[in-house]
Structure 1
Amino acid sequence: MSSTRLPPRPLLVLRSALFSLVMITTVLVFAPLVVLMVPFPFEWRYAVATRWARLNLRWLKLTCRLGYEVEGRENIPTRASIVFSKHQSAWETLALQEIFPPQVWVLKRELLWLPFFGWALALLEPIAIDRKAGRKAVQQLVDQGCRRLEKGRWVVVFPEGTRVAPGTRGRYRIGGAVLAERSGALVVPVAHNAGEYWRRRAFIKYPGTIRVVIGPPIETRGKTAQQILAEAEKWIEATMEKITTLG
């Protein structure tokens, strides 16, 4: 991303401020709305919550001139599967909701304690784990993940666990692969370069087009968790080398 192609910094700040203002404001509207829908089925609550994500993706494109394109949609299976996604930004937490079928997320259970926002998250039935529990956390992921998959819901996993900068990789963790081994669900690897435009812990969003690449599903039956994780990591990181433009 050459600095000569970027708008003046004051304009970038203004656009990013406008985006953030609406994003925060809409959370204050949608989170209580989801909470009020507690008597209704999951599908209804999820539909309302994803409207928030879609609204903000469109607002992001309008204000910050930041859009995205997807390659490999034909690789999305027809049955509930496990998404292994690269994690560089807050952007993918919005976009994966638009790209894939109804899904649940693996997250730390402390998030569910936040007023309204956390309560709304809880009503979307995420896989909430205690990260301090060590091996028990993996079992929590497996137990809850298998139940979600049986209900026909996709499971989104960020195997690196935390956001990483463009051009780098984190340590791929075994939990999602153990779920894949135990459940027999397909693993769908996803690579993207969102971190080049919406950087971790950064306020400014840069204009451009994020590339998202969905890989061929990885068959998990008859494979160990280590084999599944290694296969997913190899595909994701090889694809990242092709689409990353910043070091």
Structure 2
Amino acid sequence: MAYALQWMRSLIFVVSMYVGMLVLGVVFFPWAIVSPRGARMACLTFCRWVRWTLGWMVGLKTEVRGAVPSDEVVVAAKHQSFLDIILIFGAVPAGKFIMKRELLWAPILGQYALRIGCVPVDRGKRGAAIKKMAADVKAGSAQPGQLIIYPQGTRVAPGVRAAYKVGTAVLYGELGQDCVPVATNVGLFWPKRGIYRKPGVAVVEFLPRIRAGSSRGTFLTRLEADVEGASDALMAEAGFYAED
């Protein structure tokens, strides 16, 4: 009975989330067309809406920990569900994502992503896209801000290990910027797929930055160790322990 009730609350939340996305997308559209600032404000308002409704509708609180960067850095984050996107973007002042090109076709989401400076990449051509993006940043044609990338390239369920791809290290080296790793436990409460949302406290944690200048191998080894170690600690804090 308790599970069924929580599932129904979760369903109501999911419906309200997408209705909110549609309403905000339409309301902010004229401003977003005129200025990227309007698009960013729409996205930030949506993030606040989701966090607020998530708390009282399904009992899932959210928390952002650590020193949130305000300068131009690469943010390399653990990706478990749509919730970590919302929490990270809502925390940084000028976030923009490296995203799959297919998402450009998603209603509202795709159009707004372009307006806030997200970088679409083709599957299988990620390396070339990263090099072009780095060149654009150096040339001054890209919007300034915090460039958010998911080193594993996809959502990874809690307790599942997946390789860290070299693209993040290439980007870090090409841009010559510090990297801020981000850990999370959100997948314990908001899964990769499905309706059910579990009550609790979902956390994203900004970790100590990795200064620019490390070799590719050194950087990637430290990034994985920092993100996986901190994510495991956050999940253990919530009562989850990965099997060896």
TM-score after normalising by structure 2? 0.88
Cross-structure match for 1:181: 173
Any runs of at least 4 consecutive aligned residues in structure 1 with deviations exceeding 4 A, and if so which? 144-151
AA in 2 matched with 1:30: L
Does the 8 A contact of 1:35 with 1:116 survive in 2?
no
| 2:59 equivalent to 1:57 | no
Q: Report Cα offsets for 1:70-104 as digits up to 9, x if no partner.
A: 3323xx34422111111111111111122222110
Change (3 A) 1:243 1:115: closer
AA in 2 matched with 1:229: L
Cross-structure match for 1:3: none
| 2:216 equivalent to 1:225 | yes
How far does residue 152 in structure 1 lie from its aligned partner after superposition? 2.9
Further displaced range: 211-220 or 126-135: 126-135
Pick the aligned partner of 2:205 from 202, 213, 226: 213
Further displaced range: 59-68 or 134-143: 134-143
Aligned equivalents of 1:139 and 1:189: distance in 2?
A: 21
Pick the aligned partner of 1:122 from 97, 114, 123: 114
Pick the aligned partner of 1:158 from 150, 164, 170: 150
Aligned equivalents of 2:209 and 2:141: distance in 1?
A: 16
Change (3 A) 1:145 1:204: farther
Cross-structure match for 1:240: 231
Pick the aligned partner of 1:25 from 19, 42, 56: 19
Cross-structure match for 1:172: 164
Aligned equivalents of 2:78 and 2:138: distance in 1?
A: 22
Cross-structure match for 1:4: none
Further displaced range: 133-142 or 59-68: 133-142
User: What does 1:38-187 align with in structure 2 at a 5 Å threshold?
Assistant: 38-73=32-67, 76-133=68-125, 135-144=127-136, 146=138, 151-187=143-179
Does the 8 A contact of 2:156 with 2:162 survive in 1?
yes
AA in 1 matched with 2:104: L
How far does residue 217 in structure 1 lie from its aligned partner after superposition? 0.9
User: What is the total number of aligned residue pairs between the two structures?
Assistant: 238
Q: Report Cα offsets for 1:96-143 as digits up to 9, x if no partner.
A: 122222110010122113343322222222111112325323324433
Q: CA RMSD in A?
A: 2.2
Gaps of 5+ in 1: 1-6
User: What does 1:5-24 align with in structure 2 at a 5 Å threshold?
Assistant: 8-24=2-18
Change (3 A) 1:161 1:127: same
AA in 1 matched with 2:146: W
Does the 8 A contact of 2:60 with 2:197 survive in 1?
yes
Gaps of 5+ in 2: none
Does the 8 A contact of 2:61 with 2:201 survive in 1?
yes
TM-score after normalising by structure 1? 0.87
Does the 8 A contact of 1:104 with 1:155 survive in 2?
yes
- The share of aligned pairs that are identical, in percent, is 26
Further displaced range: 91-100 or 39-48: 39-48
AA in 1 matched with 2:20: T
Does the 8 A contact of 2:117 with 2:143 survive in 1?
no
Aligned equivalents of 1:167 and 1:149: distance in 2?
A: 40
AA in 1 matched with 2:46: W
Does the 8 A contact of 1:193 with 1:212 survive in 2?
yes
AA in 1 matched with 2:233: K
How far does residue 208 in structure 1 lie from its aligned partner after superposition? 0.3
